[in-house]
C-alpha cells in the first residue's frame, strides 16, 4: 500500500515569515506616522486654532514636522547598539511600546493654541524614541533571520513597504484628517498595540550579544552635534531681520557651526574609546562605506520631494482645477498614489534581483532613473497635464525602489553578524538625517527662487483687480516662506493679507475673484516654477552623485559568519567569477 509522506513545517522558514511580517509592520507604521502628520497639518492647525500666517507659529509647524525625524536620526545608532547589547527582538518590541504610547498621548492632547502644539511636539519626540528602536533593529532582525541568498528579497519587501508607508500615510491622512485631527494619531494606536503583543510572542534573537559599555561620551557629542546642525538648517528657512532666510541669524549660524564642531569632537572621541557608538572601522569596508554615502545623497535628493509635490498640488494645481482648499489634503494624497504604486511594484522585484546579481547595477540604475524623472519634471508647467505627471511619479517610485532595497541589503550584507545592530542604526542615521537636511535645503532653495519674482507677481495681480498700489505693495511683502507654508497648508491667505476693509471697498466681483480658489495659485505659479527648477536641479545632481557612489561599492559582497580566527568577509561568486580572499573586518576589499 502506497504511503504519502507528510512534511512537517520548517521551523526556520516559519520564523523567517513571522519576523518579516512583524518587522515590516513596525517600519510601515513608523513611516506612516511621519507622512500622515505632514498631510494632516491643515486640519491640525485648524483644530488647535493656530493661524498659519502668524510668524510665531512657523516654529510650531517646523517642529510638528521635524521633531519626530530629528529624534529618530539622533537616537537610531544608539538604538542599534542597544539591540546588539540586550537583544534585537527585545529592543524592537520596546520600540513598539514607546511608539504606541506616544501616539496615544498625541491623540488625547487636552490643550489648544501654542500650548496644544507644544504638547504634540513633545509627544511626537517620544514617538521618535520608539521609531528609532523600530528602525534600527528591524533590518538587523531580518539579516539575522534570513540566509544571505534570500536577504535581498526579505529586506526589499521590508524597506519598500516601509518607504511606501510614507506615501500611504499621505492618503490615510487626507481621508481622515478633516473628520477629526485626533484620528491621525489613533490610526497608530490600535495596530501598534496589536503588533506589540505579536512581536513579544513571535520574535526571537539570534543569541549573539556584544558585552560592552554604552559609549556615553560618544552619544552626548553626537546628539548635541546632530541636533545643532539639524536645528540650524531647519531655522535657516525662516526670515531674519531684513533677509528672506535665516542664514545671517546668529542663532542659526551658532547652532549649525557649533553642531559641526561637536560632530568633529565626536569623531575624535570615537577613535579613542574601546566600544565606540559609531564603529568607524566599518567605513573601511567599501560596500558599507559607498552604500551609506549613496544612501545619504539619495535621502537628501528625495527627502524633500514630498513637501515640494504637496505644495505643488495643494497650493497651485488642485485649487486651479476647482478643488476646495479644505479638500486639497485628501486629493493630494490620492493624486500621489502612482508614486506609491511604483515603490510597491519595483521594490520586492529589485530585492530578489539583487540576491542574484548584487546591489550595484540596480541601485545605480535606480538613482539614474530618479534623476531622469526630475529632469523631465523641470519641463512641466505649474498647471501640468496630470497623466504625464502621474507617469513621472510612477517612474520616480520605480527608480527609488530599485535603489532602496538593494542598497540596504548591500550595506547589511557587508558587515559581520555581531555588528548588524550598530550597522543598521548607522544606515538609518544617514537616511533620517538626509531627510531633515533635505527639507531645510529644499525649502531654502525654494524661498530663494521665489524671492526675486513673488512680490512683483502678487502686487501686479492685486493692482489688476483694483487694489490700491500702496495696499497691494504692503500685502505682497509677505515673506516667501509664509506664502510657501500657506500653500503647504492648503490655505488661501488673500483675505487676511488685504483685510476686510480693503475687500469691502472693491467691486464685489473683483473681491470674489481675489478671495476665490484660483487667484492665489495663479499668482504664485510662475515664481513657484522658478523656485522648483532650482530644487529639482539640485536633486538631479545629488541623484547622479548617489549613482556614482553606488557603482563604486564593488561587486556582490557578503560578510560570512565565521568562527574565531577566520576571515569574516567573503565574496559571493558572480557568474563566471571565482571567489577571492579578502582581509578581515576593518580591512579594505
Domains in the chain: boundaries: 13-205+277-452+527-571, 215-276, 454-526
In 3D space, the residue among 393, 237, 367 whose CA is nearest the CA of residue 312 turns out to be: 393
Q: State the CATH architecture for 13-205+277-452+527-571.
A: Up-down Bundle (1.20)
Given this model, what pLDDT does residue 581 score? 34
Residues 6+ apart with CB under 8 A from 331: 174, 313, 318, 323
Given this model, what pLDDT does residue 455 score? 84
SS3 108: coil
pLDDT in tens, 284-315: 888 899 999 999 999 898 877 777 888 888 88
Residue 557 phi, psi dihedral angles, 5° rounding? -150, 135
Residue 138 phi, psi dihedral angles, 5° rounding? -65, -50
Q: Is 23:157 a contact under the CB 8 Å cutoff?
A: no
How far is the first Cα of the chain from the last one, in angstroms, to the nearest whole number?
Answer: 59
C-alpha span between 563 and 86 (Å, rounded): 22
In 3D space, the residue among 257, 230, 254, 252 whose CA is nearest the CA of residue 241 turns out to be: 252
Angle at 207 between CA 201 and CA 209, to 5 degrees: 120
Given this model, what pLDDT does residue 119 score? 94
Q: What contacts 24+ positions apart, CB below 8 Å, involve 557-563?
A: 557/287, 557/358, 557/410, 557/413, 557/414, 557/589, 558/148, 558/413, 558/414, 559/413, 559/414, 559/415, 559/416, 559/417, 559/585, 561/416, 561/417, 562/416
Residue 156 phi, psi dihedral angles, 5° rounding? -60, -50
In 3D space, the residue among 309, 319, 397, 274 whose CA is nearest the CA of residue 35 turns out to be: 309
Given this model, what pLDDT does residue 562 score? 39
C-alpha span between 300 and 434 (Å, rounded): 5
Residue with cell 487626507: 174
Helix (H) or strand (E) holding 559, with range, is strand 557-559
Q: Is 228:251 a contact under the CB 8 Å cutoff?
A: no
In 3D space, the residue among 550, 108, 173 whose CA is nearest the CA of residue 369 turns out to be: 550
Given this model, what pLDDT does residue 396 score? 93
Q: Is 496:503 a contact under the CB 8 Å cutoff?
A: no
How many angstroms from the chain centroid is the CA of residue 364? Answer: 20
SS3 388: helix
Given this model, what pLDDT does residue 567 score? 39
Helix (H) or strand (E) holding 569, with range, is strand 569-571
pLDDT in tens, 161-194: 777 777 778 778 877 877 788 988 998 898 888 8
Given this model, what pLDDT does residue 294 score? 94
Q: Kindly give the confidence (pLDDT) of every residue in the chain, 589 residues in length, as a single tens digit, with 9 standing for 90 and above.
A: 444 544 445 677 777 888 888 888 888 887 788 778 877 888 888 888 887 777 667 778 778 877 888 888 888 888 887 887 788 888 999 999 999 999 999 999 998 888 999 999 999 999 989 988 988 888 778 878 888 777 777 877 787 777 777 777 877 887 787 778 898 899 889 888 888 888 888 887 765 666 667 778 888 898 898 888 878 877 887 777 777 778 888 998 999 999 999 999 988 988 888 777 777 888 888 889 999 999 999 989 887 777 788 888 888 898 888 888 777 877 887 898 898 888 888 877 887 777 778 888 899 999 999 999 999 999 999 889 999 999 999 999 999 888 988 888 888 888 887 777 778 778 878 887 888 788 878 888 888 777 778 888 888 888 998 889 888 888 887 777 777 777 767 677 888 778 888 888 888 888 888 888 788 888 888 888 888 888 899 999 999 999 999 999 877 666 654 333 333 444 433 333 333 333 333 333 3
Strands (E) located in 262-385: none
Q: pTM for this one?
A: 0.77
Amino acid at each position: 500500500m502506497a504511503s504519502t509522506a507528510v512534511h512537517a513545517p520548517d521551523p526556520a522558514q516559519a520564523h523567517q515569515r513571522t519576523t518579516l511580517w512583524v518587522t515590516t509592520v513596525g517600519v510601515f507604521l513608523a513611516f506612516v506616522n511621519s507622512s500622515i502628520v505632514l498631510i494632516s497639518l491643515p486640519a491640525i492647525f485648524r483644530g488647535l486654532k493656530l493661524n498659519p500666517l502668524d510668524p510665531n507659529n512657523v516654529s510650531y509647524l517646523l517642529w510638528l514636522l521635524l521633531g519626530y525625524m530629528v529624534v529618530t536620526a539622533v537616537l537610531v545608532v544608539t538604538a542599534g547598539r542597544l539591540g546588539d547589547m540586550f537583544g534585537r527582538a527585545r529592543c524592537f518590541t520596546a520600540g513598539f511600546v514607546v511608539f504606541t504610547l506616544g501616539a496615544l498621548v498625541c491623540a488625547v492632547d487636552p490643550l489648544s493654541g501654542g500650548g496644544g502644539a507644544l504638547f504634540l511636539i513633545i509627544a511626537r519626540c517620544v514617538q521618535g524614541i520608539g521609531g528609532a528602536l523600530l528602525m534600527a533593529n528591524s533590518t538587523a532582525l531580518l539579516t539575522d533571520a534570513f540566509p544571505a541568498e534570500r536577504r535581498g528579497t526579505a529586506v526589499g519587501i521590508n524597506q519598500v513597504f516601509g518607504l511606501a508607508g510614507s506615501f500611504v500615510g499621505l492618503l490615510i491622512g487626507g481621508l481622515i484628517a478633516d473628520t477629526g485631527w485626533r484620528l491621525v494619531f489613533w490610526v497608530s494606536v490600535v495596530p501598534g498595540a496589536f503588533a506589540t503583543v505579536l512581536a513579544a510572542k513571535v520574535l526571537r534573537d539570534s543569541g549573539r550579544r556584544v558585552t560592552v559599555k554604552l559609549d556615553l561620551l560618544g552619544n552626548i557629542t553626537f546628539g548635541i552635534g546632530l541636533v545643532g546642525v539639524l536645528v540650524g538648517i531647519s531655522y535657516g528657512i525662516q526670515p531674519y531681520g531684513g533677509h528672506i532666510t535665516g542664514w545671517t541669524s546668529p542663532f542659526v549660524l551658532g547652532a549649525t557651526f557649533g553642531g559641526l564642531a561637536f560632530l568633529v569632537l565626536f569623531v575624535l572621541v570615537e577613535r579613542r574609546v574601546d566600544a565606540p557608538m559609531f564603529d568607524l572601522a566599518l567605513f573601511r569596508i567599501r560596500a558599507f562605506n559607498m552604500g551609506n554615502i549613496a544612501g545619504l545623497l539619495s535621502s537628501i535628493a528625495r527627502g524633500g520631494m514630498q513637501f515640494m509635490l504637496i505644495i505643488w498640488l495643494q497650493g497651485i494645481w488642485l485649487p486651479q482645477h476647482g478643488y476646495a482648499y479644505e479638500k486639497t489634503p485628501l486629493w493630494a494624497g490620492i493624486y500621489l498614489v502612482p508614486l506609491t504604486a511604483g515603490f510597491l511594484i519595483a521594490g520586492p522585484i529589485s530585492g530578489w534581483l539583487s540576491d542574484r546579481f548584487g546591489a550595484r547595477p540596480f541601485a545605480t540604475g535606480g538613482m539614474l532613473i530618479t534623476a531622469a524623472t526630475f529632469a523631465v519634471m523641470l519641463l512641466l508647467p505649474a498647471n501640468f497635464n496630470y497623466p504625464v505627471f502621474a507617469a513621472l511619479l510612477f517612474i520616480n517610485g520605480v527608480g527609488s525602489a530599485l535603489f532602496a532595497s538593494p542598497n540596504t541589503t548591500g550595506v547589511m550584507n557587508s558587515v559581520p553578524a555581531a555588528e548588524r545592530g550598530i550597522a543598521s542604526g548607522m544606515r538609518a542615521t544617514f537616511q533620517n538625517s538626509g531627510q531633515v537636511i533635505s527639507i531645510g535645503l529644499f525649502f531654502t532653495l525654494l524661498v530663494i527662487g521665489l524671492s526675486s519674482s513673488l512680490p512683483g507677481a502678487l502686487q501686479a495681480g492685486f493692482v489688476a483687480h483694483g487694489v490700491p498700489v500702496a495696499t497691494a505693495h504692503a500685502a505682497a511683502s509677505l515673506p516667501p516662506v509664509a506664502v510657501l507654508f500657506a500653500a503647504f497648508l492648503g490655505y488661501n491667505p488673500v483675505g487676511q493679507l488685504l483685510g476686510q476693509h480693503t475687500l469691502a471697498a472693491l467691486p464685489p466681483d473683483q473681491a470674489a475673484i481675489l478671495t476665490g480658489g484660483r487667484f492665489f495659485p495663479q499668482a504664485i505659479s510662475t515664481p513657484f516654477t522658478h523656485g522648483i527648477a532650482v530644487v529639482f536641479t539640485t536633486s538631479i545632481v545629488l541623484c547622479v552623485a548617489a549613482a556614482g557612489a553606488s557603482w563604486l561599492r564593488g561587486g556582490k559582497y557578503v560578510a560570512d559568519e565565521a568562527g574565531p580566527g577566520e576571515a569574516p568577509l567573503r565574496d559571493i561568486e558572480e557568474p563566471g567569477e571565482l571567489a577571492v580572499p579578502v582581509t578581515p573586518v576593518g580591512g579594505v576589499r
